[in-house]
Structure 1
């Protein structure tokens, strides 16, 4: 099987809720809510809406994602991507026009820590 070959496809107009485990590559063009776990590649199409916890080898995002992303290898945000949540990854590629609202932690998932140190002062808006 070719490395970039899509193993499964959730087409436009589909709604899925639950936990998705896979090997290889999966493309989502519909709506997904839940958890994705894989060492492979998750491709989120331009019209897709994904909500939940994402832990994959690589994420290629063109649609909307709300949630936490842990990508062991790379995250690619295409110009139509809209990500509201936090990302942990060693490599981030962002096209002009992509939206990222959240925290970004660069480094391997083994060494990256998404939380601020406990001695970091809180911001007081008063």
Structure 2
């Protein structure tokens, strides 16, 4: 038993003390539904939840959630936070990575914060860093290349 503010705290009360709340992860602003299959590149900001299948490149300034029904295949995914409850094949670079109990990851992870639930699967290496090196940090919102801007302008006309 310990004392807090001059009063004795029973051991049973100590054990039930709630941990401090975790920092907010962001919110999902876009969803690839369970019947959707996409090949390509995901870039931008905000939060995206993959419930279907995605194959390609991910370079995202925000939250990426791979739902239980989701499947992601990419050489490397970069985001601020990546939560995997489905299947992820590829390397992960993110400030925060969580693998849920239903999550399956095949690839290496570079992160500053890592959490797994019992039952989660990871085949790869985890490299913990105090801070992500600049070349491995998730991107800040990048400006579109000039040719992409030209294509968008032509499409509007």
TM-score range (shorter-chain normalised) is: 0.7 to 0.9
Contact 2:106/2:122 (<8 A) preserved: yes
TM-score, normalised to structure 2's length?
0.66
Specify every segment of 5 or more residues in structure 2 that has no aligned partner in the other structure, as ranges: 1-23, 137-157
TM-score, normalised to structure 1's length?
0.82
Map 1:69-108 to 2 at 5 A. 69-71=92-94, 73-107=95-129, 108=131
Between structure 1 and structure 2, the one with the greater Rg is 2
Specify every segment of 5 or more residues in structure 1 that has no aligned partner in the other structure, as ranges: 114-126
Contact 2:65/2:83 (<8 A) preserved: yes
Aligned residue pairs total 111
Distance 2:25 2:126 in 1: 27
- 4+ residue stretches of structure 1 with deviation over 6 A? none
Is residue 58 of structure 1 aligned with residue 81 of structure 2? yes
Between structures 1 and 2, the one with greater helix share: 2
Q: Deviations over 1:75-124 (max 9, x none)?
A: 0110000000010001101000000000110002218x9xxxxxxxxxxx
Q: CA-atom RMSD, angstroms?
A: 2.0
